[in-house]
Amino acid sequence: MLQHPEVKGPGIGLLGFSKGGDLCLSMASFLKGVTATVLINACVANTLIPLHYKEMTLLNIGHDLERLKITESGLVDLVDIWNNPLEKLNCQSLIPIEKAQGPFLFIVGQDDHNWKSESYAYIASERLQSHGKEKPQIICYPNTGHCIDPPYFPPCLMSVHRMVGQEVFWGGESKAHFMAQVDIWEQIQTFFQKYLKGKDSTFHNKL
């Protein structure tokens, strides 16, 4: 990617959502050339399956489907099934983000019903600062759920989840979620322009 002709800055930026968020956290922690990272409703620990890199293995945080809840509408609510990454049995799933070189932007939907994204963002902030790293930027959006798409996409408040094979409630209120998607796009553009823009590069927002 660093050799791509469209990459004008000193490094590349990463943008990850949900499971893609913890993958981006791992990439920023272990790979060189990552200048800035944006996480949308991401977990601070490795999720679902173990992650292997060279001789290192990050365990997955683990979950218990016995803690699964069903809403009044018959939808699955997953928010409480995930284990606490700060507990001793789960700490080997925590991503060592203090090894990252670039800044972070955490975007949080405060009505995320997939997992506790706001809590994870502040765990990441405390971990970075405890290692003498820069405090990450955290932007929280009330009444906004898990599935945050680009602006003008219809809000996805529920859909079928492959892991459980049922309709899952992702959270959010339609209008607030829609407006958040518009603002989040601008926040991402601003963040990447600040940290990725090379001398000869230009950003064109066509949305």
Q: Residue 6: pLDDT above 90? A: no
Burial (CB count within 10 angstroms: exposed 0-12, middle 13-18, buried 19+), residue 137: middle
**Which tokens go with 33?**
């050339």
171 is a domain residue: yes
Q: Is 18 a catalytic residue?
A: yes
129 is a domain residue: yes
HEC per residue, 6-66: CCCCCCEEEEEECHHHHHHHHHHHHCCCEEEEEEECCCCECCCCCEEECCEEECCCCECHH
Q: Is 161 a catalytic residue?
A: no
202 is a domain residue: no
- Number of independent structural domains in the chain: 1
161 is a domain residue: yes
CATH number of the domain to which 28 belongs: 3.40.50.1820
pLDDT digits (tens, 9 = 90+) for 47-58: 999 999 998 899
- Name the active-site residue from 18, 29, 117, 125: 18
Q: Residue 86: pLDDT above 60? A: yes
DSSP structure class, residue 130: H
Domain enclosing residue 186, as ranges: 12-196
- Name the active-site residue from 22, 111, 112, 113: 112
Q: What is the pTM of this model?
A: 0.91
